[in-house]
Amino acid sequence: MLAPGSGPELRTWFAPLWRQISWLTCWIALCTAEALPACPLPCTCDGHGLQVDCSGRGLTALPPDLPAATRTLLLLNNRLSFLPGGAFASLSGLQRLDLSNNFLDGLPRTAFGELANLTELQLRNNSLRALDPELLRPLPRLRHLDLSLNGLARLPPGLFDGLPALRSLFLRANRLQSLDRRTFEPLAGLQLLQVGDNPWECDCHLRDFKHWLEWFSYRGGRLDQLTCTLPKELRGKDMRAVPMEMFNYCSQLDGQQSSAGLEVPGPPCTKASPEPPKPKPGPEPEPEPSTACPQKQRPRPVSVRRAIGTVIIAGVVCGVVCIMMVVAAAYGCIYASLMAKYHRELKKRQPLMGDPDGEHEDQKQISSVA
Ligand SMILES: *[C@@H]1O[C@H](CO)[C@@H](O)[C@H](O)[C@H]1NC(C)=O
Ligand SMILES: *[C@@H]1O[C@H](CO)[C@@H](O)[C@H](O)[C@H]1NC(C)=O
């Protein structure tokens, strides 16, 4: 409350100060706006707007107006359940994208279009069940990809075709039972692969992947674990420690496949094959599809077949002999008891006739049968 009369003096003193304050405020606001290109409301942006942090904001959709200069976009710990196609099309300079701990249950094929500079993509702990084979094609510089803790049951062929720069790939804790070697062959620079906590089925399909793993570890790649769930006799074993001989039966399937015209490309071959070359590969029934190291892939189908044949013939012969012996023994017993009975009756009926010669002969016969 100003006293009457003191108003005009105060106003003349206050006006310039007020003008100065307004100018200062305006200037600060302008500077800030220049330094911080509009940060979307629920997010925080670092000094230059290169890192936009929208994590843990309960978001169900992408915030609008993300700064075009964004290099790192953190969207983890939200409730995103879907992304529209071309969701990040305006962020072509993006290098790191973290979508961990959301509820994404599918991704449109164009979700990551235009992200040619992306080097790190985190999709850990979502609800992904399947991936489009084209999804990762537009990411030629991707170095780290985390798909752990999802519901992936298989990886479509060609999924990694566009990722020559990938260094680390995490596939832990999914529902994968098998992997196709051909899906992994484009990953020439891969150094770290995590596949633990999946229900691996250690059969012929995974045998081919095991071949790829041998090459992978030969060139220095690291793998966490590949523990079999099925078949029962291999449960708990690491697939890498299971000897190749356990999968000899697969060669029969291979033979059927290649004679049916289904060509399986050979593994990338190295001289440091952990298996020693076989002294006698045996006659090859079919030409080897992979010419580089045939002895590594081809077990001995001919000798195996021969061994099985021998076992079967021996079993049949033994069985026939056994049956014949049992029949002969039974026949002898029955004959002996019949003869004994017949003899007793004969003695009862003809006690006076006496026929020591006949009796003698019968006894001889019985003893000879027994
Ligand atoms: C991608 O990165 C390269 C080199 O780091 C840079 O020259 C280019 O401008 C970047 N592209 C975009 C769209 O930011
Ligand atoms: C996975 O995400 C859910 C929901 O976002 C969260 O509650 C849970 O703790 C996360 N689990 C792990 C292992 O990070």
- The residue whose C-alpha atom lies closest to atom 13 belonging to ligand 2 is 125
Query: Ligand 2 pocket check: which of 59, 78, 81, 101 to mutate, most ligand atoms within 8 Å of Cβ?
Result: 101
Pocket of ligand 1 (CB under 6 A): 92-93, 117
Q: Which ligand is nearest to the CA of 88?
A: 1
Residue with tokens 């702990």: 125
Pairing of strands 120-122, 96-98: parallel
- The residue whose C-alpha atom lies closest to atom 2 belonging to ligand 1 is 117
Q: Which ligand is nearest to the CA of 95?
A: 1
Higher pLDDT, 190 or 257: 190
Higher pLDDT, 330 or 78: 78
Higher pLDDT, 246 or 59: 59
> Region 172-184: what's the mean pLDDT?
93
The pLDDT of residue 26 is above 80 = no
What does the pLDDT read at residue 296?
40
> Region 188-212: what's the mean pLDDT?
91
The pLDDT of residue 291 is above 50 = no
Q: Which 3-state string (H, E, C) describes the chain?
A: CCCCCCHHHHHHHHHHHHHHHHHHHHHHHHHHHHHCCCCCCCCEECCCCCEEECCCCCCCCCCCCCCCCCCEEECCCCCCCCCCCCCCCCCCCCCEEECCCCCCCCCCCCCCCCCCCCCEEECCCCCCCCCCCCCCCCCCCCCEEECCCCCCCCCCCCCCCCCCCCCEEECCCCCCCCCCHHHHCCCCCCCEEECCCCCEECCHHHHHHHHHHHHHHHCCCEECCCEEEECHHHCCCEHHHCCHHHHCCHHHHHHHHHHCCCCCCCCCCCCCCCCCCCCCCCCCCCCCCCCCCHHHHCCCHHHHHHHHHHHHHHHHHHHHHHHHHHHHHHHHHHHHHHHHHHHHHHHHHCCCCCCHHHHHHHHHHHHHHC
Q: Tell which atom from ligand 1 comes closest to the C-alpha of 117.
A: 1
The average confidence (pLDDT) of the chain is 76
Instruction: Report residue 172's pLDDT band, with 50, 70 and 90 as the boundaries.
Output: very high
Higher pLDDT, 369 or 148: 148
Q: Where are the domains of the chain?
A: 301-369
Higher pLDDT, 271 or 91: 91
pLDDT tens string 206-235:
888 998 999 999 999 999 989 999 888 889
pLDDT tens string 303-347:
556 666 676 777 777 687 768 887 788 877 687 888 888 778 777
- What is this structure's pTM? 0.63
The pLDDT of residue 354 is above 60 = no
